[in-house]
Structure 1
Amino acid sequence: MVEVIPKQIKDVWDSWNIRGMVILSLSLQTILIFLSPSRKRTPNKFLIFLLWSSYLLADLSANFAVALIAKNQGKDPKPDDPPQDKKLLALWAPFLLLHLGGPDTITAFSLEDNALWNRHFLGLVFQALAGVYVVIQSLPNVLWVIILLLFIAGTSKYLERTIALYLASSDKYRGSMLQTSSSAFDYTEQPDNLDMDSIIASEMYMKEHRRQLKPPKLMIPNRKLTHLEILQYGFFFFNNFKSLMVNNIFSLELRDESMAFFRAPKLQDEEALRIMEAELDFIYEGLYTKGAVLHSWVGLVSRFISLGSLLSAFTIYHYRHNKIQEFHNADIVITYTLFLVGIALDVMSLYIFMVSDWTIAMLSTLKDDFERIPSRKDRILDWVLGLKRPKWKWQTCREEHKQEVLNTPFLLRRWTGSITMFNFITYSMNADTERIHNPRGGTFQLLWKTLLCPFSYVTSVHSEPLTKELWSFVFYELQEKSQILDSLENTTTKSSARKDWASSHTQIQIADHEMLLRYITDLDYDHSLLIWHIATELCYQEKDSAKEKCDNSEYHTNRKISKMLSDYMMYLLIMQPKLMSEVAGIGKIRFRDTLAEADRLFKKMRIENSRYVKFASGVILSVDTSIEPRDVKGNHSKSVLFEASSLAKELQRLERDFGQDKWKTLSKVWLEFLFHAASHCDATTRMELLSKGGEFINFVWLQMSHFGLGD
């Protein structure tokens, strides 16, 4: 009797474990399908953690549940069990295979999951075998028709996921981009002593020759684009520039088409931004969801088979008589739940599929005539996309100047729509961040601080909404750079333009100011960035000193742009080391030493308990830097605090003595920092950021690529 009771308890425990794991697996699928689309819209760490844990537990819970069902099938039935109850539990095994297929909105949590597509395929084989083993144990089974239909549905969905992972793997992308060479120039027929000038001349000839033989097929806009045309162009560039995702090159014809399109005088900067948004969204869908599979004939056939099999199985089960006599009531309820929730999730996936940008792009094609009257279908699609367009909102900054900022509703966003900022001086003083824009209003912020005051809540990292002025500044500067680069006479001249990390164009702009130029040409990227960042903040904290002859609006615009780019680049350097690994150098060591020197200075001046950034900036500027800081500290410290102070003083002297706008200079310099980082950032991390809300640098990198810029 002592031995029987524990066994009975164990049997009951195992039975409820099965039910619990099946419900858990279904719940995780529900979480993933509804919440996973949000990860491209926000970098919220709680959401990312929830999705990560759900993604991992989804497979584990399904596998564990199948193991429990298989174990349960090998046991003798209890006297009080309904006659066919174990047969019903065997029905749950293919349901779990259906869950392992995963929702359409997420196939990979990270890019590494795509690389392991073959492991998922092996998992499909073993999971199917485990399901077959469970069913064989349950034979003869009166539910075998339903089980067979569910096996078809589950295998179909699992196969969809495996194919999606395979298509998103980097090897597949590289393979799909390989093309035979179209060069008609045979180098083997040239003399051995062929010089570089001849090679350059032949390359230029072939380039011009290709342009003559293959004129650009992409129509250049001559008017404002419709919502549908913006999406179509984004889809066109996505399909033709896929190789950018794996750092492959693309043909000169494609590059010339892209350059001609984005240089078109009628193309507006906002339209270019929206095209980039659409293109990056297609990249995200291709890398992290079933989008590429579902929008192919294989995916359509698979989804028809899967949903049809599921509905057929439910119909047969629902109309089966004597269920109450054959099965436990709890198991009947769980089975109905599995069917109904599974069908509901499939219908929801179908709806998401039907209204997705990918579907809309495939239902329409780019027109070769802008004057043609759009069809009724195109007008309907354009209206639908109009509901999803980005929204802009006028906001008043702290300086009482109004700016248009991106304010798209959360569920309609294709990315986070903001720029994350980190400031050295604010961080060094443990001070509250002073926002440039305050979307929630001063009252809300005051209430928030009051509620969290007991916890001494201080944040060093915050986000600012993307401003239309900043994007316009970036876009037209890239457009100008592209035209300058294209006008250079030969490849040698082009390569010499990037001898240093900053372009010769920017160096020429400040060539008359040797004291400024040496902080660019003589320093490494990370060294220079930290100096210019601190100097920018020191100037920003000073009272505005716009000269009468300066355009007041332009002055304040350049001031905000410089501040935003300065803090953004500092955030990337310190908080995104993987992304900046190719340009970061010893940036973290310089940051640490500079932080230590700032701490010593604040303690010496007895302001360590102050959080007044403006006062601290004045203290740094008050230090005598007539002797070169590097001569004083030597190689014992990598601190750049007083080098930055010297640079800030030189910028102030530039404005005070020569009447030049220091913020115009600073904005140009910060664009160089941004452009250099965008063209040298780590490719894998760049793609990973798309699943964490995206980054502004992704847009800059993609726009540079379309302008034929970058390395």
Structure 2
Amino acid sequence: MRDLQRRQLGAGNKTLLEATAVMKNLRTPKANLAKIELLVCLTAILLILLNIFGSSRCRCNDRKLRMLLWAAYTLSSYLIAYTLVWAIFLMIFFGSSDSYSVHSLEDCERWKNYGWQYLIKFTGVIILLFIYGITLWMISVLFILGLTVPLKVSNRAVSLLIASGYGRQKNTKLIADYMSSEHQSSNGDFDPSQMRGYNYVVKVGKTSSTSLKKLKERETAAQGEPPNYRESLEITDRVVTIEKVWKCQGWLLRSGGGDEDSKLKDICLSFSLYKLLCLRFSGHSLPKQAHEKLWKLIQHLYDEGNGYERAFRVVELELSFLFDSFYTKYPIIFLPTGWKLKVLELLLLVIGSLLTIGLCFKYNSNRHGDELQLATPGGLSIDVLVTALILIVFTCGELVQFFFMAFSEWAKVSLLCTYVQTPSWQEENKWKEKLIGRMCRTQLLNPWERKLRQYSLLESYDYTPRKWLYNPFTVMFIDLIRDGQKQSEPTELSSEVKKAVFHSLMSNPEALKNGEASLRRNEVDGKLSWACRLETQTQVIIVWHIATSIFEHKVPVADPISYSNFLVATSLSKYLAYLITFCPKLLPDHPYDSEYAFNKIIIETRGLLKGRKTTEERIQKLNRIGKTMDNNGRVIIQGTLLGQQLLKEEKGPKFIWKVLAEFWAELMVYVAPSDNEKAHAEHLKMGGEFITHLWALVSHAGIKREPPVK
């Protein structure tokens, strides 16, 4: 026994000595160097993720991707401070992601803070390099890279400034003042088919100056005339308008030439409409006559064949420009001198990287045999290898970014405007026209996710999130997921849905109704309109959602016409239920009122359907309740009673699916107007929402929502 204890004691001492030795090894200079190199690699990976997946935010609503990009965006700036040897390069690359300049709108308001942070960091790195010794060769590298850092940082800071509240107000004033009287320039003589009289600005060659000197010159020239306190914009050759784009006689933009489907001209139209939509974010408004003129334009887009597809394509691209203006550096890059600075950045980065790699290999040969040096079996220093690989990868990343920018929608607008302003391009350069046309028709990625996210109350009410992750203690760090808050599988945004919603928008734009207009057209308003006159919009949506779910599970769909209506009704029913559950800020009710009502509905539904495991069992229980219980004000009971009414309708399932499809399409349009522009902008970075596309359309048309009849 004593021998056994002695052996165990010896083994324990040996383990303790080994652990102590490991801890000592972790504190050696070589281990510290390894830790720094590990941090460099981690930071580099995070920055590469921003470059690769930054533009994916507007095409994907995957929560894991958003968390990954947020972590990369947040951690990369902090890790830079701990990797001093490579800090100067990492600062360059942190400002390199043109498709991910900010994570949220709040970041835009901290543009000064961003500039000061990087000025301090860059100064600190330079001081450290001088303290640890610097050679003439290193000075040449630092000079080149020292030019690159201010370019990168200033570009990012300016992009934040432009996207900030002050920047938006300043940059939209010219368009706002111009649009306040643009509708008067055509004297009522405008034609959207030819865009005659539509002098909407696409590109301004040079923004008018508002300096004191310039204002004094104008005041002197205008002596004796009434003062004008608005910025003026004269339509000269330096200004490209929609009318000029449509009047262009070059082969590339002619309807009978290279633009038969008007896709190229529509790129410019989307860009001009994006400029008008920006007015909403800066507190500017348009006069009623301007909205009426825009509505005529939207009607023209819809009236051409399958016009709902064209109208949706135009607004889809318009929101793509809006996303870029908030969350990327494209508005800076495509300023008149932006491309030149971008090319200069790329050249400086390539030259600086090559010089740095050469310097690293020289450093490796001078330190050969150093005991602090981590080396490969071939004698190559690990830190040299890591540095060279990172520089090569990031240089390739910059080249890839440059390629994507060349085919971006901003580049297409710039090319098309230059084409309109350059007669020689229209007459003598057929190959150039074909090249521009090929570039402008190339779409590397879809602008948006093009999905309708779904939620089914009867399928998800019993969902309970993990308490270890979602609880009152974690609310300070992450958004809580509530009971019953579980998404269903998203569905594709089908052409049937777009057609039904756009048709509803065009049918009754003057006064949007809360679904009652469609019921009146189908002569069922006397029976069903009570469900449109509930206390809140949240209750209306959930009641009709429950009724639609009951009808969906009880009535099979056979003929193609009914299937089209079935697809519209069920998709929009679950989409609006999703908006209530996950995006209440995009709907008419106060967001917290919607959250509170939803929580109450979940509690009521759980109590009523306790023990029912399958959807079929839940529907059966609701049907039994509907036969025995009167309307007691509970949403789940009201939805059941409405579902019973639908099932008892004498005209049959085909008619009811038509009623439901038209009702949900009308309700979708009814909830679209909103004064919460910020909420729509925030959702642009999460794959976009169909309701945001409708919001943009009704905003242009100046369509308002009538309060529901109680």
| AA in 1 matched with 2:449 | T
The offset of 1:469, in angstroms, is 0.9
Distance across 2 between alignment mates of 1:226 and 1:375? 19
Task: Report 1:40-59 matches (<5 A).
Answer: 40-59=58-77
Distance across 2 between alignment mates of 1:346 and 1:505? 54
* 1:413 aligned counterpart, secondary structure: coil
Match of 1:97 among 91, 94, 103: 91
Task: Report 1:13-162 matches (<5 A).
Answer: 13-66=31-84, 89=85, 92-142=86-136, 143-162=138-157
**Length-normalised TM-score, structure 2:** 0.73
Partner of 1:519: 531
Deviations 1:57-107 (A, max 9, x none): 1101112223xxxxxxxxxxxxxxxxxxxxxx4xx3421321332411211
Distance across 2 between alignment mates of 1:55 and 1:182? 38
Unaligned runs of 5+ in 1: 67-88, 186-205, 389-410, 432-457, 486-496, 547-551, 631-637
Distance across 2 between alignment mates of 1:182 and 1:266? 29
Partner of 2:658: 664
The offset of 1:585, in angstroms, is 6.1
| AA in 2 matched with 1:48 | R
The offset of 1:150, in angstroms, is 0.9
Distance across 1 between alignment mates of 2:703 and 2:265? 25
* 1:470 aligned counterpart, secondary structure: helix
The reply to whether residue 619 of structure 1 matches residue 621 of structure 2 is yes
Task: Report 1:50-449 matches (<5 A).
Answer: 50-66=68-84, 89=85, 92-142=86-136, 143-178=138-173, 211=188, 215-217=197-199, 218=242, 225-245=261-281, 248-252=284-288, 254-264=290-300, 265-266=303-304, 268-317=307-356, 322-327=362-367, 329-365=381-417, 376-388=431-443, 412-428=445-461
Partner of 1:75: none
Distance across 1 between alignment mates of 2:263 and 2:169? 31
Deviations 1:582-602 (A, max 9, x none): 455633444444444444443
Partner of 1:697: 691
| Contact persistence 2:271–2:413 (CA under 8 A) | yes
- Judged with a 3 Å threshold, the aligned counterparts in structure 2 of structure 1 residues 118 and 322 are, in CA distance, closer, same or farther, namely closer
The offset of 1:158, in angstroms, is 1.3
Partner of 1:533: 545
| Contact persistence 1:621–1:645 (CA under 8 A) | yes
The offset of 1:121, in angstroms, is 1.4
Moved over 6 A (4+): 5-8, 182-185, 206-209, 220-223
| AA in 2 matched with 1:465 | E
Distance across 1 between alignment mates of 2:101 and 2:134? 36
Match of 2:573 among 560, 563, 566: 566
Distance across 2 between alignment mates of 1:63 and 1:172? 30
- Judged with a 3 Å threshold, the aligned counterparts in structure 2 of structure 1 residues 429 and 108 are, in CA distance, closer, same or farther, namely closer
Deviations 1:93-137 (A, max 9, x none): 421321332411211111111121121111122122212322332
* 1:709 aligned counterpart, secondary structure: coil
Distance across 2 between alignment mates of 1:562 and 1:670? 6
Distance across 1 between alignment mates of 2:353 and 2:595? 59
Distance across 2 between alignment mates of 1:326 and 1:512? 89
The reply to whether residue 676 of structure 1 matches residue 688 of structure 2 is no
| Contact persistence 2:179–2:286 (CA under 8 A) | no
Distance across 1 between alignment mates of 2:356 and 2:177? 59
| AA in 2 matched with 1:266 | E
| AA in 2 matched with 1:426 | E
* 2:121 aligned counterpart, secondary structure: helix
Aligned length: 581
The reply to whether residue 543 of structure 1 matches residue 538 of structure 2 is no
Deviations 1:568-612 (A, max 9, x none): 100110122344474556334444444444444434xxxx2541x
- Judged with a 3 Å threshold, the aligned counterparts in structure 2 of structure 1 residues 146 and 253 are, in CA distance, closer, same or farther, namely farther
- Range with bigger deviation, 672-681 or 343-352: 672-681
- Judged with a 3 Å threshold, the aligned counterparts in structure 2 of structure 1 residues 558 and 41 are, in CA distance, closer, same or farther, namely same
**Length-normalised TM-score, structure 1:** 0.73
The offset of 1:34, in angstroms, is 1.0
The offset of 1:376, in angstroms, is 4.4
The offset of 1:291, in angstroms, is 0.7
Partner of 2:29: 11
Distance across 1 between alignment mates of 2:664 and 2:26? 72
* 2:304 aligned counterpart, secondary structure: coil
Distance across 2 between alignment mates of 1:6 and 1:513? 82
The offset of 1:418, in angstroms, is 1.0
The offset of 1:294, in angstroms, is 1.0
Deviations 1:636-687 (A, max 9, x none): xx6212212222233334x316998223332233233322332137322211
Task: Report 1:442-457 matches (<5 A).
Answer: none
Distance across 1 between alignment mates of 2:557 and 2:38? 68
Distance across 2 between alignment mates of 1:131 and 1:31? 25
The offset of 1:216, in angstroms, is 2.4
- Range with bigger deviation, 665-674 or 119-128: 665-674
| Superposition CA RMSD, Å | 3.7
- Judged with a 3 Å threshold, the aligned counterparts in structure 2 of structure 1 residues 421 and 139 are, in CA distance, closer, same or farther, namely same
Unaligned runs of 5+ in 2: 1-19, 191-195, 200-241, 247-253, 368-372, 374-380, 465-484, 706-710
The offset of 1:476, in angstroms, is 2.2
| Contact persistence 1:42–1:693 (CA under 8 A) | yes
Deviations 1:379-411 (A, max 9, x none): 4344445453xxxxxxxxxxxxxxxxxxxxxx7
Distance across 2 between alignment mates of 1:183 and 1:53? 42
Q: Percent identity?
A: 18
Distance across 2 between alignment mates of 1:417 and 1:49? 21
The offset of 1:479, in angstroms, is 2.2
The offset of 1:144, in angstroms, is 0.7
* 2:490 aligned counterpart, secondary structure: strand
The offset of 1:513, in angstroms, is 3.0
Partner of 1:394: none
Distance across 1 between alignment mates of 2:449 and 2:688? 6
- Judged with a 3 Å threshold, the aligned counterparts in structure 2 of structure 1 residues 696 and 246 are, in CA distance, closer, same or farther, namely farther
- Range with bigger deviation, 657-666 or 142-151: 657-666
- Judged with a 3 Å threshold, the aligned counterparts in structure 2 of structure 1 residues 429 and 158 are, in CA distance, closer, same or farther, namely closer
* 2:452 aligned counterpart, secondary structure: strand
